[in-house]
Amino acid sequence: MIELTAAALIASITVLFLSIFLGFELIAKVPPTLHTPLMSGANAISGITVVGALLAANAQLEGGNQTVAAILGVLALILAMINCVGGFMVTGRMLRMFKRKEN
Amino acid sequence: MGWLSYSSDLGYLVAAALFIVGLKYLGSPRTAPRGNQLGAIGMLIAVVVTLLRMSGAEGGLIGLPLILIGLVVGGAIGAFMAKKVEMTGMPEMVGLFNGFGGGASALVALAEIVRARDAFGAGRAEGLGPTVFVLAIGASSLIGWVTLTGSLVAVLKLNGTMRKNIFLPGQNLLKAVLLLACIACTVGLIYTPGNLLLITALVLAAAMLGVLFVIPIGGADMPVVVSFLNSLSGCAASATGFVVGNNALIISGALVGAAGLILTGIMCKAMNRKFADVVFKAYGATGSTDTGEKRTVQGYEAEEAALAFDGARTVIIVPGYGMAVSQAQHVVRELADELERRGSEVRFAIHPVAGRMPGHMNVLLAEANVPYEQLFELDDINSSFSECDVALVVGANDTVNPAAHTDPDGPLGGMPVLDVEKARTVMIVKRSLSPGYAGVDNDLFYRPSTMMLFGDGKKKLTDLLGAVKEL
């Protein structure tokens, strides 16, 4: 578990809210043609939870709660990796198909 | 550890910055491939930084073998799926990845609270850190499990395994009870963080909530659900950021959460439906509003229909979900090319909720090599139908139904639709006269200016293409 000061918590909440506003601004004017790649690319970015999964999986299997936690962590890691590796690759595949008119 | 901690925080900042620029670049066709690459690079940096940080911390990378297994297995499965998927299977694939993202966040939260059981013992979560930790676990579990099970149900609906939209009496009440149960479990966990029963109840309640959330919704409401689940997968990552105390997760998750919400809003607006109505009053389950009046309509053969293209100056093609089902996008493009060769101007009109996910038609037509400049949005093309010789509707129904204008109080009332009725000739390729998702009969089918071509989209269009070549 993490040590947490009130100042650090406030800082994190600040970061959270600013990121939400930034997200709204970034996406507001995306043309419909790109809606699917945008969604699948954004979804790949939500695979950032892979960082949390790495932290959770980093334990030795010595029985008890720590072992259960580590196994859950590895499962999380697998899902997160499918999400981000698969997500970025499939988005790339889609985007390579979007072509301009040949002159 | 000090310098390593600070420099790894800077590494996370670089990753977050790459995600932000990447998302920005994803907003324009020219820069989008670069944006996707930047996102992938950001993710690689985040993973490497985390591994370095763990190796330098107390205890080191003790779980390295397990971690390598997870990285390799997950990466390989992801790469395999991404390479193998057909473009027509894209809605399911995006839905599944959404679910996995949410599931990963939920599993991290579960792992962390199980691990903390040793530290908490029989005591309660005291002080700011532990309290925030438990609250964040509650949020991450709730959102994460809902995302996972909701997405899995959505995938079953998208690939046609689950055809019925189930709406039980009291379903909304049950959803409220489950939501309250999740909150109650979280509050309970503050007092007894090691309580396995509460942890299990939280997981089960959230998982059930996800199922109940999506089972009543289907068909044309799917783009709304898919984008909302996309948003949730981001929110889950953000909540997990508070669990493990990592700003990279908080920032990236929030960006994705916001992006998904914007898409959800766009989809709702395109259907003239409130989000709450989609979730709580799914009309996919209410069945059709059959007026009892039986009208007959004559179907046309491809040869007769092809004559309408003879000398047509402008043709607008309107694709719908039916095009995706019959995988007719390639023959549609061939027909468009043939018509252009014969001197017609051909454009595509794309309704924002055509298909089963945002941008569905655009992806399919891109796969068939239709340049994106030939695709037009509703607002940009609607005024052109009145000057159009032939509007060719391929497997679309609700998105071209004039009832949106003529019956303002009906289920489609006020929905922005493509005004194909204004075209000189409307040609509709469709399997049957059955009403669309909204359950409203389409008056367009019965009009004298309309030619109905009944049958499988791909087959009918192939016939039509052959007949046009004979002209």
> Same domain, yes or no, for B107 and B142?
yes
For the question of residue B443 being annotated catalytic, the response is no
Task: Identify whether B430 is part of a domain.
Answer: yes
Amino acid at B247: N
Q: B interface mutation test: which of A27, A39, A46, A66 has the most B CBs within 10 A?
A: A46
Rounded to 5 degrees, φ, ψ at B18 are: -65, -35
Task: Identify whether B295 is part of a domain.
Answer: no
Strand B390-394 with B375-377, pairing: unpaired
What does the block give as tokens for B318? 């309107």
Whether the CB of B250 is below 8 Å from some CB of chain A: the reply is yes
Of A33, A42, A74, the CB nearest to B23: A42
Confidence of residue B60 (pLDDT cuts 50, 70, 90): confident
Q: How far apart are CA B115 and CA B344, in angstroms?
A: 67
| Residue B57 CA: distances (Å) to CA of A59, B1, B4 | 13, 6, 8
Confidence of residue B87 (pLDDT cuts 50, 70, 90): confident
Whether the CB of A89 is below 8 Å from some CB of chain B: the reply is yes
**Is B81 in contact with A70 (Cβ distance < 8 A)?**
no
Task: Identify whether B292 is part of a domain.
Answer: no
| Residues B129-156 pLDDT 10s | 999 999 999 999 999 999 999 999 999 9
> Same domain, yes or no, for B158 and B179?
yes
Enumerate residues 6+ apart whose C-beta is below 8 A from B370: B329, B333, B336, B348
Q: B107: which chain A residues are within 8 Å (Cβ-Cβ)?
A: 53, 56, 72-73, 75-76, 79
**Is A44 in contact with B105 (Cβ distance < 8 A)?**
no
pLDDT the model gives residue B1: 52
Amino acid at B443: D
pLDDT the model gives residue A1: 57
Confidence of residue A2 (pLDDT cuts 50, 70, 90): low
Confidence of residue B384 (pLDDT cuts 50, 70, 90): very high
> In angstroms, what separates the C-alpha of A18 from chain B's closest C-alpha?
8
**Average pLDDT across chain B, whole number:** 90
> Same domain, yes or no, for B307 and B386?
yes
Confidence of residue B167 (pLDDT cuts 50, 70, 90): confident
Query: Which of residues B84, B103, B131 is at a domain's end?
Result: B84
pLDDT the model gives residue B288: 45
Contact map slice: B 42-61 vs A, CB within 8 A: 42-43, 46-47, 50-51, 54, 61
Instruction: Report the run of H or E that residue B453 belongs to, with start and end.
Output: strand B450-454
Q: How far apart are CA B70 and CA A75, in angstroms?
A: 7
Enumerate residues 6+ apart whose C-beta is below 8 A from B3: none
Q: Is the pLDDT of residue B285 over 60?
A: no
DSSP H stretches of helix in B382-424: 403-406
Whether the CB of A100 is below 8 Å from some CB of chain B: the reply is yes
What does the block give as tokens for B11? 């590494």
Q: Is the pLDDT of residue A93 over 80?
A: yes
> Same domain, yes or no, for B341 and B454?
yes
Contact map slice: A 15-74 vs B, CB within 8 A: 15-17, 19-24, 26-61, 64-66, 68-70, 72-74
> Same domain, yes or no, for B208 and B342?
no
What does the block give as tokens for B222? 């799917």
What does the block give as tokens for B446? 């019965």
**Is A27 in contact with B263 (Cβ distance < 8 A)?**
yes
pLDDT the model gives residue A102: 61
pLDDT the model gives residue B83: 94
Q: A78: which chain B residues are within 8 Å (Cβ-Cβ)?
A: 70, 73-74, 77
Q: A82: which chain B residues are within 8 Å (Cβ-Cβ)?
A: 74-75, 77-78, 81, 97, 100
Q: B256: which chain A residues are within 8 Å (Cβ-Cβ)?
A: 23, 42-43, 45-46
> Same domain, yes or no, for B77 and B99?
no
ipTM: 0.95
Task: Identify whether B49 is part of a domain.
Answer: yes
What does the block give as tokens for A79? 């899902």
**Is B101 in contact with A60 (Cβ distance < 8 A)?**
no
> Same domain, yes or no, for B465 and B372?
yes
**Could you tell me which chain A residue has the CA closest to the CA of B40?**
A88
DSSP H stretches of helix in B281-415: 302-306, 321-325, 329-341, 360-367, 378-381, 403-406
> Same domain, yes or no, for B234 and B357?
no
User: What mean pLDDT is predicted for residues B391-399?
Assistant: 92
**Is B249 in contact with A49 (Cβ distance < 8 A)?**
yes
Task: Identify whether B200 is part of a domain.
Answer: yes
Task: Identify whether B134 is part of a domain.
Answer: yes
Q: A73: which chain B residues are within 8 Å (Cβ-Cβ)?
A: 63, 66, 70, 107-108, 111
Task: Identify whether B293 is part of a domain.
Answer: no
Q: B36: which chain A residues are within 8 Å (Cβ-Cβ)?
A: 37, 41, 44, 88, 91-92, 95
pLDDT the model gives residue B127: 86
| Residues B321-356 pLDDT 10s | 999 989 999 999 999 999 999 999 999 999 988 988
Nearest of B2, B42, B153, B11 to residue B92 by alpha carbon: B153
> Same domain, yes or no, for B77 and B118?
no
Confidence of residue B168 (pLDDT cuts 50, 70, 90): confident
Phi-psi region of B389 (alpha: psi -120 to 50; beta: other; left: phi over 0): alpha
**Is B359 in contact with A32 (Cβ distance < 8 A)?**
yes
| Residues B174-223 pLDDT 10s | 999 999 999 999 999 999 998 999 999 999 999 999 999 999 887 778 88
> Same domain, yes or no, for B56 and B186?
no
Task: Identify whether B290 is part of a domain.
Answer: no
User: What mean pLDDT is predicted for residues A66-83?
Assistant: 95
- % of chain B residues with pLDDT over 70: 97
Q: What is the DSSP letter of B194?
A: T
Helix axes B360-367, B90-120, angle to 10 degrees: 120
Q: Is the pLDDT of residue B431 over 70?
A: yes
Look up the CATH number of the domain holding residue B442: 3.40.50.1220
Query: Which of residues B227, B254, B285 is at a domain's end?
Result: B285
Residue ranges making up the domain that contains B436: 302-469
Q: Is the pLDDT of residue A103 over 50?
A: no
| Residues B89-124 pLDDT 10s | 889 999 999 999 999 999 999 999 999 988 888 788
Label residue B60 exposed, middle or buried (CB < 10 Å: 0-12, 13-18, 19+). exposed
Given a contact cutoff of 8 angstroms between Cβ atoms, the answer to whether B393 and B420 are in contact is: yes
- Total CB pairs under 8 A between chain A and B: 418
Question: How many domains in chain B?
Answer: 3
Instruction: Report the run of H or E that residue A11 belongs to, with start and end.
Output: helix A6-27
> Same domain, yes or no, for B180 and B121?
yes
Q: Which of A1-5, B122-126, B236-240, B455-459 has the lowest mean pLDDT?
A: A1-5
**Could you tell me which chain A residue has the CA closest to the CA of B92?**
A40
| Residues A10-64 pLDDT 10s | 999 999 999 999 999 998 888 888 999 999 999 999 999 999 999 999 887 777 8
Contact map slice: B 76-135 vs A, CB within 8 A: 77-79, 81-83, 85, 87, 90, 93-94, 97-98, 100-101, 103-105, 107-108, 110-112, 114-119, 128-130, 132-133
Q: Which of A73-82, B298-307, B335-344 has the lowest mean pLDDT?
A: B298-307
> In angstroms, what separates the C-alpha of B294 from chain A's closest C-alpha?
38
> Same domain, yes or no, for B48 and B102?
no
Query: Which of residues B32, B67, B84 is at a domain's end?
Result: B84
